[in-house]
Structure 1
């Protein structure tokens, strides 16, 4: 980092605005009651997937690909005259920026500027891999081999070597490591990104890595490009201390090798300041500073971009993207996204949802066509399976559940619930890309289900972090969530979200659900669904390197999920960004995976 490019706190607040956001947080009781408190905004981002800037998906990788040389990058040679501050407006302000402690896309927007991964997704692509900290990479059988970039330094001045990745992996996944983050602190990404697959890491040579896997695992190279696989500094890990609580503090002073260095975390005013890394190995950066500022009110946030007080914003609601689209001073950028929005049934909590007939009845009753066309204003399409279009294994023969109230009532009667029942629907408030109008969507669901005799109580959360805690703990009856792909591989949807990650033997005979306290259970599966036919299929697919065989297995898995209906499949959404005219045309690249790629952005 070049110290002279820093700005002081007064200038920082002047650039970003000085109003602290306060919010009311709903209580987390099962019925939606509980105390309410006012506190600084601290919500997280969408459930999973980094920023996920949108775009066309591609077929999953077969696991055998080789990486190219990747070049040496510009290394910051032309950055001596950097000036200007890029302002990114968002709806929430998490207070911890450790990529190993979160599933939050709001965190990833920041950490993707600070950290690098061994491999990265090419900007503007649908998930193609390219060189990053590793200049060459391959996967053969159970062995991944990577050659590393030389001459890269962390923001603390330490040189990047293979041992940094080894320390990163051990901190995230190895409980016998002196600097292990801790079971209670690490995010759910630890097991499914690295922990479940890596047998050993050989970092004996500074610029070579040999990783042995426990089994063949087709998405592994793609996992190395995910935001949760960001490479940390071994020296910082060791300096933080040996307890999990010591390691938590890394999230307030993160050190990476990325294009921008962490400078100021201003929680009272919900601001973050990053400064340009003049020693960056790749393209850019092209501005001296990046400020992430929080504006919770959607209309105010969009107007901030239109006025030129911010340069980029995301998570637009239907009113916001129309205002940006019609503005003379802003542009609406849009692309197909690799994402899914859904309403999950918690089978561990509610006996009624353990009956497939009930789940299917609700799927017939919810008018998803009205949701995508009227509430989302056509910036999304109806979902019919967990896997979005354009990803390997999407089943083209499946259609969305039609809106059929008579069929819904008939199925409820067959299941013994002709008189209906009551349940809670938990929802977040601020728009997510896969659900730009969550409160309107919840009211639509409530209205639709009342017409078939069900009573729905909406439990509305004002910020996302408490909401994710609530669903992670299984306190919801039903809930809205969604997912942006982390790596453009079908495994990232079908295994990550709907496989409980428990032993097949842990699923009782004749039962297709498990409790949240089952050993090994992944709370990313908020339905508690545990269909063993489905589990066997997706687990076999992740061990298979033949693309055609994988595709057939995922087509089958999607059919099972559609028929068993652990979710109401809501939508596949476009990814939308509002961009002020001060951003130089084509310098900001929307991507379906990874990002936002702020290192290339120029402002005028």
Structure 2
């Protein structure tokens, strides 16, 4: 309830941004920008406070910059606000040199008097790791993604060496650290803005009325209607061609495909598989696809009386027909998952496999003492994602498969999975149909946030599973920068997962995006984030 109250408080605060004009009038939006249709409602505009969703996936890259970004081809960290960096021989000190041309946005609630400097980097990351930081406890004081990575345990200090040099000191070597700083969660806030909020006493505005250095700034928010971003003229990489971007977050009308066809939307973020042929056959639209760094999986609460039995978890995996799932839910566009890492990961284990064998599953159920089966709840989100384009349909197929081996699945639908709210109720969970879109290209980003012991305590480990031997493998893999050694360690870690089976990998999805043919410069990323800094309209 405490977490829910915080979310409600944040949602009320950002109501202050609501405007009065027609949100999607021709004059205000389409002639000078474009309309983006995608699911989700923000409860904050600070991605540090979220565990994914609209804020981290679609808004963060527009409003905020990070020290680093991911190369769209190699998926390795490259400069953003940091122009260069050095690493100490022991791997515990990272020193970054900042570009001198980056400026913060001018908004209705703040006018900056200087550009981005090292103090802003210190301010942004000290908030996460220092309980004494004045903003640490603001908006709830929880940072789900960073907590799941044990960021506060890793980073012992962040200090400004001069205006354009900043040093991070780590408690241990971590070769995935640069990738961590490249994610859409690792954003840079304005310390000067923070100082003005300290003077006024309204600290929560830093999360509801954001100030970043990205290509667009927040201009207007109408809950369940729209989010409007305006061009940041002082952007260090050149002002964006588009004056504004409007996010249609309403549920009005006949659905997102109809909005695309009737030109109520210019971009449809994630069309479902059944819509693809309609889009492909229309010359007015362009359908882009990106093999995703993602996985759909079934999280099994290993503290549940029945699901605590290894044979039961193995039986569930054997009973699920992944090929039928791919054909019926993904319409043939996905790939059956044999493990948590997708085939495009450099640590993917191509020797892992899955088997569909209901008869063997029945024998394992009997061996575990559940010859007559049992009943279990399956929590299912309603929101389609790249890793699962139709969650309810997938849940119904799983329900049908498990009925064959005597497991009665009760589908419990929710708008979306809020890991923070589930944390206090995790002992009562049965199964959760969920998934993950990687934030960067490092294998650690798939395994640690979802399955480490620390992630269990932060609520992201929905399997309620803790295996210290598995965790030691994760720690060993980030202690060396020799990729072949890292790969061998990750292969061993994946074998542990296969043997203990706290999660049932189901499929890897393809991320699709449909857009009006007049738009150029919208690129897909396997990590779900996207920047609109180079989008333009030809006519």
Change (3 A) 1:451 1:465: closer
- Which residue of the partner structure matches residue 452 of structure 1? 405
Does structure 1 residue 529 correspond to structure 2 residue 479? no
Distance 1:372 1:10 in 2: 44
Residue 473 of structure 1 deviates from its aligned partner by 3.8
Does structure 1 residue 353 correspond to structure 2 residue 364? no
**Of 270, 277, 283, which residue of structure 2 is paired with 1:328?**
283
Does structure 1 residue 277 correspond to structure 2 residue 232? yes
CA contact (8 A) 1:387 1:394 kept: yes
Distance 1:297 1:386 in 2: 36
**Of 48, 61, 82, which residue of structure 2 is paired with 1:112?**
61
Distance 2:20 2:365 in 1: 60
**Of 442, 464, 479, which residue of structure 1 is paired with 2:416?**
464
- Which residue of the partner structure matches residue 601 of structure 1? 535
Does structure 1 residue 547 correspond to structure 2 residue 467? no
Distance 1:170 1:589 in 2: 33
Does structure 1 residue 171 correspond to structure 2 residue 113? no
- Which residue of the partner structure matches residue 4 of structure 2? none
- Which residue of the partner structure matches residue 76 of structure 1? none
The superposition leaves residues 363-403 of structure 1 with CA deviations (integer Å, 9 ceiling, x where unpaired) of: 0001111111222111110111111112132111111x221
Does structure 1 residue 132 correspond to structure 2 residue 80? yes
RMSD: 2.5
- Which residue of the partner structure matches residue 47 of structure 1? none
- Which residue of the partner structure matches residue 10 of structure 1? 21
Write out aligned runs for 1:295-314 (5 A).
295-296=250-251, 300-314=255-269
- Which residue of the partner structure matches residue 590 of structure 1? 524
Distance 1:242 1:526 in 2: 40
Equivalenced residues, count? 510
The superposition leaves residues 212-239 of structure 1 with CA deviations (integer Å, 9 ceiling, x where unpaired) of: 1110001001111111110011122233
Distance 1:542 1:414 in 2: 39
Change (3 A) 1:501 1:239: same
CA contact (8 A) 2:161 2:167 kept: no
Which blocks of at least 5 consecutive residues in structure 2 are unaligned?
1-17, 106-110
CA contact (8 A) 1:91 1:298 kept: no
Which blocks of at least 5 consecutive residues in structure 1 are unaligned?
1-6, 19-81, 503-515
Change (3 A) 1:199 1:272: same
Residue 193 of structure 1 deviates from its aligned partner by 7.0
CA contact (8 A) 1:298 1:320 kept: no
- Which residue of the partner structure matches residue 54 of structure 1? none
For residue 384 of structure 2, give the secondary structure of its aligned residue in structure 1. coil
**Of 310, 313, 338, which residue of structure 1 is paired with 2:293?**
338
For residue 559 of structure 1, give the secondary structure of its aligned residue in structure 2. helix
- Which residue of the partner structure matches residue 497 of structure 1? 450
For residue 353 of structure 1, give the secondary structure of its aligned residue in structure 2. coil
Distance 2:199 2:407 in 1: 52
Distance 2:135 2:199 in 1: 5
**Of 49, 66, 71, which residue of structure 2 is paired with 1:101?**
49
Distance 1:539 1:419 in 2: 41
- Which residue of the partner structure matches residue 115 of structure 2? 159
Residue 126 of structure 1 deviates from its aligned partner by 4.8
Residue 295 of structure 1 deviates from its aligned partner by 4.1
**Of 177, 184, 193, which residue of structure 2 is paired with 1:227?**
184
**Of 328, 333, 344, which residue of structure 2 is paired with 1:374?**
328
For residue 12 of structure 1, give the secondary structure of its aligned residue in structure 2. coil
Change (3 A) 1:397 1:466: closer
The superposition leaves residues 435-491 of structure 1 with CA deviations (integer Å, 9 ceiling, x where unpaired) of: 101010010011111111111100011x22657633674142111111111111000
Larger relative helix fraction: 2
